[in-house]
Amino acid sequence: MSDVRTVFITKEVADKLDLTPTYLIRVAREMNLSESEMRDAGKRTYLFSQEAVDKLLKRFNGNKQ
């Protein structure tokens, strides 16, 4: 069974990365995250797994260095 504390909505991830939700969705789509990492949950709302958040953090933290 999945732990809902490790599933995040678009706004939560965007706030964590200090990005707009629209930009986050665009970048996540470009990264070709799998269905188990990111999925549509309604109009402009996506669900992200902890693995997806880790990949996004790595991508954006890597660009700052």
21, 14 Cβ separation under 8 angstroms? yes
- Looking at the 3D structure of the chain, how many domains does it have? 1
Residue 64 has pLDDT above 60, yes or no: no
Domain encompassing residue 55 = 4-64
Confidence of residue 65 (pLDDT cuts 50, 70, 90): very low
Give me the pLDDT at residue 63, please: 62
At 6-63, the pLDDT tens digits run 999 999 999 999 999 999 999 999 999 999 999 999 888 999 999 999 999 999 887 6
Q: Say what the pLDDT of residue 44 is.
A: 85
3-class DSSP state of 2 = coil
C-beta of residue 27 within 8 angstroms of C-beta of residue 56: yes
